[in-house]
C-alpha cells in the first residue's frame, strides 16, 4: 500500500496545477539526476512571429506566404499557427487535399493541383530540392512547389520568462545534468541552450532520435538515478513514454501526450518542475 504521506504530496502538487499520476512517480521525482527538455513550446513560448518572407526568383512574396499558409492549414504545430496568422486571410479548405504531416520535417500537401512542401532544410534535402543555404538566426520554414524551391519564411520564437529560473532551481535541488533535445537547427538550439545555462544541446533530431537519446542516457546511468523528460506533447509523446518520469506541460498537448505522461503540468511554466521536485522532497521527509 502507498504510505499516507504520498497522498498529501499528490494533493499539494495538484493545488499547484501539477498532476502526479501516483505515489511511485512522486518517489521517482526525488531521484531525478538528469532533466531533459524539449525546446519549442517547453523552454520557448512556441508562439512564433514571422520576421521575414524570402521568395525564390520567379515567386511572388504573397504567393509564397499563401502556399505555406495552405500547407499548414491542418497542422497544430506552433509554427503553423504563426504562418496562418501572418497570412491573415481566410483559408478555403477545399483547395487542400492529401495532407501529410511528416513529424520532425514538415508538411506535404496538394494545393490547387500543385504539390507543396513546407518544412525544414532536412525535408528539402530528403525530397531532393536544391536551394542556397543562407545564414539565419531564427527557425526557417522552406517551401517547394512541384519539385522547385519556392523560398523561405523566417520565424522567431521567444524564451519563456521563467525558463532560466527553472534551470537554476533544478540545479539547486541537486539535478546534476540538464539537456535540451530539439528538432530545430543547432544554431537556434545552441543559442537558446547557452542563454539558459543548459549543460548540453542535441539538435536536428527526429522524434525517434529523441527517444534514442533517452535510451542512451538510461543505459549509461545508475539504476537509482531517474531521468525526467518534459515536453509540450506535440511530436514528443514517444519520448514522454520512454523517460523514467515523463512530464507533459501546457495543457495544450494532445490527449495521447497527457495519457503517456506520468506528470502533467497544467500551466506552461517550466519552473513548476522545481515546485514538483520540491514537494516530492518534502513528502519524503514526512514518509520516511
User: Which residues are known catalytic residues?
Assistant: 38
User: Please, what's the largest Cα pairwise distance for the chain?
Assistant: 71
Site for ligand ADP in 179-198 (CB under 6 A): 182-184
- Comparison of 4 and 158: residue with beta carbon closer to ligand ADP: 158
User: What residue spans of the chain are helical by DSSP H?
Assistant: 4-15, 23-30, 61-71, 78-87, 121-126, 163-172, 186-196, 207-220, 237-242, 255-260, 272-287
Binding mask 227-246 for ligand ADP (x = CB under 6 A): -------xx-----------
The answer to whether the CB of 141 falls within 8 A of the CB of 106 is: yes
In the beta sheet, which residues pair with residue 142?
119, 152
C-alpha cell at 19: 498532476
To ligand ADP, the closest distance from the beta carbon of 1 in angstroms equals: 39
To ligand ADP, the closest distance from the beta carbon of 26 in angstroms equals: 27
- Comparison of 31 and 75: residue with beta carbon closer to ligand ADP: 75
The answer to whether the CB of 164 falls within 8 A of the CB of 158 is: no
Site for ligand ADP in 24-63 (CB under 6 A): 38-40
To ligand ADP, the closest distance from the beta carbon of 286 in angstroms equals: 37
Stretch that binds ligand ADP, among 74-82, 92-100, 214-222, 248-256 (CB under 6 A): 74-82
Between CA 163 and CA 78 the distance in angstroms is 18
The residues that touch ligand ADP, with contacts defined as CB under 6 A, are: 38-40, 72, 75, 77, 79-80, 104-107, 118-120, 139, 141, 182-184, 234-235
Amino acid at each position: 500500500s502507498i504510505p499516507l504521506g504520498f497522498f498529501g504530496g499528490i494533493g499539494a502538487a495538484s493545488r499547484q496545477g501539477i498532476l502526479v499520476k501516483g505515489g511511485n512517480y512522486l518517489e521517482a521525482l526525488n531521484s531525478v539526476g538528469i532533466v531533459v527538455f524539449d525546446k519549442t513550446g517547453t523552454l520557448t513560448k512556441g508562439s512564433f512571429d514571422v520576421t521575414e518572407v524570402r521568395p525564390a526568383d520567379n515567386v511572388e512574396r504573397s504567393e509564397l506566404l499563401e502556399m505555406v499558409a495552405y500547407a499548414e492549414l491542418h497542422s497544430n504545430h506552433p509554427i503553423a499557427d504563426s504562418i496562418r496568422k501572418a497570412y491573415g486571410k481566410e483559408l478555403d479548405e477545399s483547395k487542400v487535399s492529401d495532407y501529410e504531416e511528416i513529424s520532425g520535417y514538415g508538411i506535404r500537401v496538394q494545393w490547387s493541383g500543385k504539390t507543396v512542401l513546407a518544412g525544414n532544410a532536412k525535408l528539402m534535402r530528403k525530397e531532393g530540392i536544391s536551394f542556397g543555404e543562407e545564414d539565419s538566426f531564427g527557425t526557417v520554414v522552406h517551401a517547394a512547389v512541384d519539385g522547385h524551391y519556392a523560398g523561405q519564411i523566417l520565424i522567431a520564437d521567444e524564451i519563456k520568462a521563467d525558463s532560466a529560473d527553472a534551470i537554476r532551481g533544478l540545479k539547486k535541488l541537486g539535478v546534476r545534468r540538464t539537456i535540451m533535445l530539439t528538432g530545430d537547427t543547432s544554431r537556434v538550439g545552441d543559442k537558446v541552450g547557452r542563454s539558459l545555462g543548459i549543460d548540453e544541446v542535441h539538435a536536428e533530431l527526429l522524434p525517434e532520435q529523441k527517444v534514442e537519446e533517452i535510451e542512451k542516457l538510461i543505459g549509461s546511468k545508475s539504476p537509482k538515478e531517474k531521468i525526467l523528460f518534459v515536453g509540450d506533447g506535440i511530436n514528443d509523446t514517444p519520448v514522454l513514454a520512454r523517460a523514467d518520469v515523463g512530464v507533459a506541460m501546457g495543457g495544450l498537448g494532445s490527449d495521447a501526450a497527457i495519457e503517456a505522461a506520468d506528470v502533467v503540468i497544467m500551466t506552461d511554466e517550466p519552473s513548476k518542475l522545481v515546485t514538483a521536485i520540491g514537494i516530492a522532497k518534502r513528502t519524503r521527509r514526512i514518509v520516511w
